[in-house]
Amino acid sequence: MTVWADVSEWQRPVDDSYPYRMIAIRANDGTYRDRNWDSNYGWCRSAADSGRLDCFIVYLVYRPNWKQTLDTIKSMVGSPHPKMIVMVDVESWGGQIAGDQSAGIDALVSGLRAWCGRVIAYMNPNDSFLWPGRPADVPMIVPRYASSRPSMTGMIGWQYTDGSGYGPSGWPQGAAPFGACDMNYTDLSTTDFAAQCGIGEDIDMAAKDDIIGFIRDYVGPIGSDVKDIRQQLTGGRDAGEYPGWRQLGQNDKGQNLTVVDSLADARNRIIALEKVVAELKAAK
């Protein structure tokens, strides 16, 4: 089974005694910054780089000042780690947040996707009134402290306990070094969970270099060929240049004709000749 802890400043910082291959850590609640952030995030980055973690979730608590909330996590993280998933925690907090918050949550999710690309959300079904317009393409972690799992469209994981004995019999109620804490479960392997959240979709640097080389070697000459064709048609190699060709003749302003101008002039002359021929035939 795949389980992971969900921690914040209410637990001690994570260390190498943590036993699982994914973890969720809090970054910010609105503009409030988690006091364990530097330690937890630094460990997650190092653990992901070394292969100890297959992925890690950085979560932020939604508040109606979503722009400042977004700016806060971006300033805390900097450039997102390639194994990092961002999770938006949508809760009413006992009535602190009320009403349809779809516009703000959607804007926050959109901003996070533009920045990181890998975005999921956490929401209790009892708080679904906050996000009635929730897009179906946002993977969801759904809390339910019971032995039976909840159901929600897009559910990818289940927070089954807060460390107080909830969840199916025998399931972990915490993890080292934290002790009892929020714990989550998914049917997927950690690597499949990561892939479903978008990790692994990035092209590695070697592949990027190959693509860049292909574009340079293949598309580069095409650009030169296009300029050659433009010059043959207009007399100029760059956009907006139409100097024409002296050998094609000049218009009544003394300007050289382009190939298109010359074809039009030839067509007009042919039409005029056809008209003269027709008149001569009619006069016989």
Is position 244 within any domain?
yes
For residue 212, with 0-12 CB atoms within 10 Å meaning exposed, 13-18 middle and 19 or more buried, which class applies?
exposed
Same domain, yes or no: 249 and 156: no
Q: Which of 135, 170, 202 is the last residue of a domain?
A: 202
Q: Parallel, antiparallel, or unpaired: how do β-strands 24-29 and 32-33 relate?
A: antiparallel
The CATH number of whichever domain residue 134 belongs to comes to 3.20.20.80
Look at residue 196 in the predicted model and tell me its pLDDT.
93
**For range 241-253, the mean pLDDT:** 85
Is position 262 within any domain?
yes
**Tens digits of residue pLDDT in 172-184:** 999 999 999 999 9
Same domain, yes or no: 21 and 95: yes
Peptide bond into 177 cis (omega under 30): yes
- 60-69, 103-112, 260-269: segment of lowest average pLDDT: 260-269
Look at residue 179 in the predicted model and tell me its pLDDT.
98
By the 8 A CB rule, do 140 and 122 touch? Answer: yes
Look at residue 116 in the predicted model and tell me its pLDDT.
94
Same domain, yes or no: 140 and 197: yes
The SS3 assignment for 89 reads strand
**Tens digits of residue pLDDT in 78-108:** 999 999 999 999 999 999 999 999 999 999 9
Look at residue 206 in the predicted model and tell me its pLDDT.
55
**For range 208-234, the mean pLDDT:** 75
Compare 142 and 242 and report the one with higher pLDDT: 142
Same domain, yes or no: 143 and 6: yes
Q: Mean pLDDT for the chain? A: 92
* 230 has pLDDT over 80: no
* 3 has pLDDT over 80: yes
Compare 244 and 9 and report the one with higher pLDDT: 9
Alpha-carbon distance 238 to 208, whole Å?
A: 30
pTM of the model: 0.72
